[in-house]
């Protein structure tokens, strides 16, 4: 208080500092909604999305039109008169060869092929992967190398030998023959998938379970399986879509009675007799694609999580 | 009676020899610590005792029973891991009972054992929680409980505290020591942390390169390290090594370094002091005394310069140059030194260790 003059000077300089602080930027940095960068990113995304969606749109509207409307040629215009007749025909009435019961026969064949193939291949591959990752038996590396090498042999080389093997086993032309083929061909990639996942789980868990007296199957079912839901979902999606969309094995190892849906679709779309019924073809194609589409929608999130799954915290 | 005996155990992965003809006897009720830098084979040895790794050669006895070819579950061991290794999908109770159910014990026996273990480890309120809902310390307690319920002869700890933060680590260290005093089981404990080793162990086995360098009580290891490696590995801040020569001087021996002659009166030899042209004098920082005046305590001292002072709380570490060699001295933190100060150094020779530079063995 003895020197009020110096006190005033101090107060003045404090004000100057305060001004500088208050006047300057504060809080989150403002971002421009419309910048050159954003226009480029969203523009590209939009173009790509349209590029993929337009064919789907054309298929959908065409499948809902009658033939006279299609002949007008405006493939992008929405249907004037919506009809579900092409869908009914594709599902239940379209003719392939001698049968005239549409895609329904192929659909049920595909279901009867896909379910056992998926279950069987995942069951065997997960145990394979578990054994390779955790029970380092003698020759494990050699076995694994051979298995992975199998994935690189071209299918064409194996097609005919497998025909002979199936014939000798009495399975040629049956659904179970095709199930067997799918199970075997799914093995390399699935085993790799499971082995890598089980390797990423902490090894000490496995050791702890062994000290606790759990055996091969006990550790598999009670320790490993409950921790592995994401990778099982990934394997399931891979197999369901792969087997459902398979055409080559289906056309080679089955007979017309047991053709899977994809083969039947081809026979409907590519039939050379009579008029080309574009609306029926579109409906049939959409019907065939429904199953993988539904699988993706239901389990998309789990799929990403499974692919990204690395370490699991205990 | 020996609780665990390891006879000539070797283990190699292809051309890599991890353990070499290793022998070790662990006494009944003893707390033995396997200590060494990473890659020294200490965890490998523990895994061999547990039966998680097959040995290439040799035998392992637990309670005088040859268990070399037995499965882990039949060896009477319980193991606690660094990452806790709790089964994430099971509750604490499920984790504790998993091993007991595998043994097909009756339900009320399982109940009783879990009750006892959870009381000892104070984890009763946690029994219905999943491991993800526990803190690190609680998880490790459950992991110890998993060994406890199985009523084993030997506890094996594989760096159990390394994943915990410093405060929790020292708390759990005390708890493990208390647990050992209460249970009186044999415990074998692997760590790279010398504080854990010194505080917990009845005896420490210092390992390097798959070989046990020294097996002794903690203070013996600290005060009379058998070789240069043990001397350098144990102790923090680390031991000082002065390079020089052992020479005859008067009626005894002296250590000559950089023109100074340090009398070796009172040195406690392992074998005998012999003249050596290349030798190392190992002195711990707390056995290096520095004073501002020469001959402050009547001892012979040598002039040196202060380089650096590191305050560590209770005491400070002062780095000094003696000739062309650098030494550290531990002093009370109230005594302050500045860079460039001249001080006088003397050594506590009875607490020092003398090594032949070639054989690296303590004289």
Segment B90-101, tens digit of pLDDT: 999 999 999 999
pLDDT one-digit tens code per residue, B19-59: 989 999 999 999 999 999 988 899 999 999 999 999 999 99
Give the confidence band of A7 by pLDDT, cuts at 50, 70, 90: low
Report the pLDDT value the prediction gives residue B108, as an integer from 0 to 100.
Answer: 93
> Hey, are the CB atoms on A212 and B99 less than 8 Å from each other?
yes
Give the confidence band of A14 by pLDDT, cuts at 50, 70, 90: low
B313 torsion bin: left (phi>0), alpha (psi -120 to 50), beta (else): left
Average pLDDT, whole number, for chain B?
90
Integer angstrom CA distances of residue B10 from A278, A292, B21, B58, B59: 76, 56, 5, 6, 9
Taking the Cβ of residue B86 and every Cβ of chain A, the question of whether any pair is shorter than 8 Å is answered with: yes
A204 contact residues in B (CB cutoff 8 A): 81-85, 158
Q: What's the per-residue H, E or C state across chain B?
A: CEEEEEEEEEEEECCEEEEEEEEEEEECCCEEEEECCCCCCHHHHHHHHHCCCCCCEEEEEECCEECCCCCHHHCCEEEECCCCCCCCCCCHHHHHHHHHHHCCCCHHHHHHHHHHHHHHHCCHHHCCCCHHHCCHHHHHHHHHHHHHCCCCCEEEEECCCCCCCHHHHHHHHHHHHHHHHHHCCEEEEEECCHHHHHHHCCEEEEEECCEEEEEECHHHHHHCCCEHHHHHHCCCCCCEEEEEEEEEECCEEEEEECCEEEECCCCCCCCCCCCEEEEEEEECHHHEEEECCCCCCCCCCEEEEEEEEEECCCEEEEEEEECCEEEEEEEECCCCCCCCCEEEEEECHHHCEEEECCCCEEC
Residues B69-89: what's their mean pLDDT? 91
Q: May I ask the CATH architecture of the domain B240-356?
A: Beta Barrel (2.40)
The percentage of chain B sitting over the pLDDT mark of 90, rounded to a whole number, equals 61
The C-alpha of A203 sits at a distance from chain B's nearest C-alpha, in angstroms, of: 8
The C-alpha of B130 sits at a distance from chain A's nearest C-alpha, in angstroms, of: 9
A213 contact residues in B (CB cutoff 8 A): 72-73, 99, 102-103
The C-alpha of A114 sits at a distance from chain B's nearest C-alpha, in angstroms, of: 31
Report the pLDDT value the prediction gives residue B296, as an integer from 0 to 100.
Answer: 67
Taking the Cβ of residue B145 and every Cβ of chain A, the question of whether any pair is shorter than 8 Å is answered with: no
> Hey, are the CB atoms on A207 and B79 less than 8 Å from each other?
yes
Residues A78-92: what's their mean pLDDT? 88
Report the pLDDT value the prediction gives residue A304, as an integer from 0 to 100.
Answer: 66
Closest chain B residue by Cα to residue A226: B89
Q: Is the confidence at residue A281, as pLDDT, over 60?
A: yes
How many angstroms separate the first and last alpha carbons of chain B?
Answer: 33
**Distance between CA B65 and CA B61 in Å, rounded?**
5
Taking the Cβ of residue B53 and every Cβ of chain A, the question of whether any pair is shorter than 8 Å is answered with: no
pLDDT one-digit tens code per residue, B296-322: 666 778 889 999 999 988 899 999 998
Nearest beta carbon to residue B79 from set A211, A226, A313? A211
Lowest mean pLDDT of A32-36, A115-119, B35-39, name the range. Answer: A32-36
Domain spans of chain B?
A: 2-233, 240-356
Q: Which residue did the predictor score with more confidence, A305 or A263?
A: A263
pLDDT one-digit tens code per residue, B127-137: 999 998 998 88
Taking the Cβ of residue B52 and every Cβ of chain A, the question of whether any pair is shorter than 8 Å is answered with: yes
- List residues of chain A with CB under 8 Å from any CB of chain B: 202, 204-205, 207-214, 218, 222-223, 226-227, 312-314
The percentage of chain A sitting over the pLDDT mark of 90, rounded to a whole number, equals 43
Give the confidence band of B272 by pLDDT, cuts at 50, 70, 90: confident
Taking the Cβ of residue B103 and every Cβ of chain A, the question of whether any pair is shorter than 8 Å is answered with: yes
Closest chain A residue by Cα to residue B97: A212
Taking the Cβ of residue B43 and every Cβ of chain A, the question of whether any pair is shorter than 8 Å is answered with: no
Taking the Cβ of residue B99 and every Cβ of chain A, the question of whether any pair is shorter than 8 Å is answered with: yes
Say how many C-beta atoms besides its own lie within 10 A of residue A29's C-beta.
5
Give the confidence band of A313 by pLDDT, cuts at 50, 70, 90: very low
> Hey, are the CB atoms on A205 and B52 less than 8 Å from each other?
no
> Hey, are the CB atoms on A202 and B146 less than 8 Å from each other?
no
B131 contact residues in A (CB cutoff 8 A): 314
The C-alpha of B71 sits at a distance from chain A's nearest C-alpha, in angstroms, of: 8
Report the pLDDT value the prediction gives residue B293, as an integer from 0 to 100.
Answer: 82
> Hey, are the CB atoms on B77 and A208 less than 8 Å from each other?
no
> Hey, are the CB atoms on A204 and B131 less than 8 Å from each other?
no
Report the pLDDT value the prediction gives residue B26, as an integer from 0 to 100.
Answer: 93
Report the pLDDT value the prediction gives residue A306, as an integer from 0 to 100.
Answer: 61
Q: Is 3.40.50.300 the CATH classification of the domain at B2-233? A: yes
Taking the Cβ of residue B72 and every Cβ of chain A, the question of whether any pair is shorter than 8 Å is answered with: yes
Report the pLDDT value the prediction gives residue A307, as an integer from 0 to 100.
Answer: 58
The C-alpha of B216 sits at a distance from chain A's nearest C-alpha, in angstroms, of: 29
Give the confidence band of B266 by pLDDT, cuts at 50, 70, 90: confident
Of the CATH numbers 3.90.1420.10, 1.10.1740.10, 1.10.3720.10, 3.40.50.620, which one belongs to the domain with range A104-260+291-308? 1.10.3720.10
Q: Is the confidence at residue A308, as pLDDT, over 90?
A: no
Residues A209-228: what's their mean pLDDT? 92
Nearest beta carbon to residue B73 from set A204, A213, A223? A213
ipTM of the complex: 0.86
The C-alpha of B101 sits at a distance from chain A's nearest C-alpha, in angstroms, of: 9
């Amino acid at each position: 208080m003895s020197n009020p003059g110096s006190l005033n000077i101090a107060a003045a300089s404090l004000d100057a500092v305060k001004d500088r602080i208050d006047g300057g930027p504060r809080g989150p940095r403002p971002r421009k909604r419309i910048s050159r960068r954003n226009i480029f990113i969203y523009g590209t995304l939009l173009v790509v999305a349209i590029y993929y969606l337009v064919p789907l749109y054309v298929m959908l509207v065409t499948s809902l039109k009658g033939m006279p409307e299609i002949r007008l040629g405006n493939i992008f215009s929405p249907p004037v008169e919506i009809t579900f007749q092409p869908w009914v025909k594709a599902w239940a009435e379209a003719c392939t060869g001698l049968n005239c019961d549409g895609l329904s026969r192929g659909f049920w064949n595909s279901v009867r092929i896909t379910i056992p193939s998926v279950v069987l291949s995942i069951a065997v591959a997960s145990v394979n992967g578990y054994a390779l990752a955790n029970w380092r038996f003698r020759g494990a590396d050699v076995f694994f190398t051979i298995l992975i090498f199998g994935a690189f042999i071209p299918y064409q080389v194996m097609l005919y030998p497998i025909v002979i093997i199936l014939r000798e086993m009495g399975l040629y032309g049956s659904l179970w023959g095709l199930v067997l083929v799918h199970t075997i061909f799914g093995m390399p990639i699935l085993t790799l998938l499971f082995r890598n996942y089980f390797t990423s789980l902490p090894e000490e868990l496995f050791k702890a379970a062994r000290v606790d007296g759990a055996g091969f199957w006990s550790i598999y079912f009670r320790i490993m399986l409950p921790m592995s839901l994401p990778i099982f979902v990934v394997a399931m999606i891979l197999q369901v879509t792969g087997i459902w969309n398979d055409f080559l094995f289906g056309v080679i190892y089955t007979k017309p009675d047991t053709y899977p849906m994809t083969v039947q679709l081809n026979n409907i779309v590519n039939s050379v007799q009579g008029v080309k019924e574009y609306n029926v073809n579109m409906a049939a194609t959409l019907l065939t694609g429904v199953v993988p589409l539904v699988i993706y929608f239901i389990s998309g999130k789990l799929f990403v999580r499974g692919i990204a799954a690395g370490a699991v915290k205990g | 009676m020996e609780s665990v005996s390891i006879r000539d155990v070797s283990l190699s992965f292809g051309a890599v020899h991890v353990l070499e003809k290793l022998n070790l006897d662990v006494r009944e009720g003893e707390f033995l610590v396997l200590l060494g830098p990473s890659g020294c084979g200490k965890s490998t040895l523990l895994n061999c005792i547990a039966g998680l790794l097959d040995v290439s050669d040799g035998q392992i006895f637990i309670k005088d029973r040859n268990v070399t070819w037995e499965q882990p579950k039949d060896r009477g061991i319980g193991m606690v891991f660094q990452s806790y290794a709790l089964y994430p999908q099971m509750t604490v109770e499920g984790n504790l009972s998993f091993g007991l159910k595998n043994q097909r014990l009756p339900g009320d026996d399982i109940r009783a054992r879990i009750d006892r273990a959870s009381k000892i480890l104070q984890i009763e309120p946690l029994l219905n929680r999943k491991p993800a809902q526990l803190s690190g310390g609680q998880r490790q307690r459950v992991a110890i409980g998993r060994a406890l319920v199985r009523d084993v002869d030997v506890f094996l700890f594989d760096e159990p505290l390394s994943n915990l933060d410093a405060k929790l680590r020292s708390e759990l260290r005390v708890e493990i020591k208390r647990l050992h005093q209460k249970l009186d089981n044999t415990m074998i404990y692997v760590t790279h942390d010398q504080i854990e080793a010194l505080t917990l162990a009845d005896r420490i086995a210092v390992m390097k390169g798959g070989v046990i360098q020294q097996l002794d009580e903690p203070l013996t290891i600290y005060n009379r390290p058998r070789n240069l490696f043990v001397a350098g590995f144990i102790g923090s801040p680390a031991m000082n090594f002065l390079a020089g020569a052992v020479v005859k001087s008067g009626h005894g021996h002296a250590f000559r370094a950089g023109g100074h002659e340090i009398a070796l009166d009172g040195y406690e030899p392992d074998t005998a002091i012999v003249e050596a042209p290349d030798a190392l004098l190992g002195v711990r920082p707390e056995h290096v005394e520095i004073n501002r005046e020469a001959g402050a305590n009547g001892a012979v001292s040598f002039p040196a310069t202060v380089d650096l002072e590191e305050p560590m709380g209770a005491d400070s570490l002062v780095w000094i140059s003696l000739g062309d060699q650098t030494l550290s001295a531990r002093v009370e933190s109230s005594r302050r030194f500045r860079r460039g100060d001249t001080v006088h150094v003397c050594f506590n020779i009875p607490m020092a260790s003398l090594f032949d530079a070639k054989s690296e063995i303590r004289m």
